[in-house]
Amino acid sequence: MESFAAYLQSLPKSPLTEAVAALYEAADGLRKPSAEELAEFVSAASETEHRMRGDWDSNREAIVNEDKEFIEQVSNGTFQAVTDGNGIVIYGEADGRMYVYLLFVRPECRRAGTAQRLMEYVKTQAKGMPVALSVNNHNTAARTLYKKLGMVDSKKFGYDGYDIIEMQSPTIR
Ligand SMILES: CC(C)(COP(=O)(O)OP(=O)(O)OC[C@H]1O[C@@H](n2cnc3c(N)ncnc32)[C@H](O)[C@@H]1OP(=O)(O)O)[C@@H](O)C(=O)NCCC(=O)NCCS
């Protein structure tokens, strides 16, 4: 497909060719995760999140059950998942927005642009809807990433005594 990228570049620049190029770039190399990858990513993301919250050890059984339900919702098509093998994003339409429910990159693969690429892919799937998500206020890496993508705080709330910020972007980038 290199030739297609070259062909796109050779065309006179227009909003249409730029949109097609962005779509092509974003979709390149992304695929649906296998069942094993999905389970592995969800469990790693969940452990990271709950360790940050401090309830991983005390609440493990309930967390594992929640994860199973979540995986089932991906398997039955309620939510969509894409991966490049290094990271995963799980998203779905909710109340007129494209909501990102999970974004996780393997620790050894971070700071190589994976999360940014996955988020840009979600934008291509959002059909003009705003992209939204909830993030722990203390999660500096994620907060910095979303701000870099142009997302802004849309709501603040406590969850289990935890600071959660909802961020939203009608225009990622
Ligand atoms: C947050 C996370 C998804 C970022 O993934 P990543 O692939 O490393 O992110 P990218 O390489 O695409 O980073 C893009 C930008 O985000 C920001 N960023 C990412 N990690 C950062 C960090 N540790 N500290 C500060 N800024 C960071 C930077 O602006 C970065 O651009 P730069 O590398 O050019 O400076 C990853 O750290 C992760 O999986 N964390 C655990 C799970 C999690 O917190 N998920 C989000 C829940 S809402």
Higher model confidence: residue 16 or residue 89?
A: 89
pLDDT in tens, 4-32: 767 777 888 898 988 887 777 666 789 99
Residues 157 and 81 in one domain: yes
User: Which of 30, 10, 167 minimizes the C-alpha distance to 85?
Assistant: 30
Residues 1 and 36 in one domain: no
Tokens 């980038």 locate to 173
Q: What is the CATH number of the domain that holds 138?
A: 3.40.630.30
Residues 99 and 109 in one domain: yes
Residues 35 and 23 in one domain: no
Q: Is the CB of 144 under 6 A from ligand 1?
A: yes
Gap between the Cα atoms of 166 and 114, Å rounded: 22
Q: Is the CB of 86 under 6 A from ligand 1?
A: no
Q: Based on the structure, what is the number of domains in the chain?
A: 2
Q: Is the CB of 138 under 6 A from ligand 1?
A: no
Residues 46 and 9 in one domain: no
Q: Whose CA is nearest to atom 23 of ligand 1?
A: 141
Residues 4 and 43 in one domain: no
- To test the pocket of ligand 1, the residue of 83, 105, 146 to mutate (highest count of ligand atoms within 8 Å of its CB) is 105
pLDDT in tens, 118-163: 999 999 899 889 999 999 998 999 999 999 999 999 999 887 777 8
Structural domain harbouring 85: 31-169
Residues 132 and 93 in one domain: yes
Residues 16 and 65 in one domain: no
* Position 173 confidence tier, pLDDT thresholds 50, 70, 90: very low
Q: Whose CA is nearest to atom 10 of ligand 1?
A: 113
Residues 41 and 75 in one domain: yes
Residues 53 and 9 in one domain: no
CA distances from 69 to 47, 80, 104 (A): 16, 14, 18
Ligand 1 centroid, distance to 63 Cα (angstroms):
24
Q: Is the CB of 48 under 6 A from ligand 1?
A: yes
Q: Looking at residue 30, what DSSP letter applies?
A: -
Contact of 116 with 149, CB cutoff 8 Å: yes
Q: What is the pTM of this model?
A: 0.87
Residues 42 and 83 in one domain: yes
Contact of 84 with 104, CB cutoff 8 Å: no
Helix (H) or strand (E) holding 70: helix 60-75
Gap between the Cα atoms of 85 and 155, Å rounded: 32
User: Which of 37, 101, 43, 105 minimizes the C-alpha distance to 68?
Assistant: 43
Residues 62 and 100 in one domain: yes
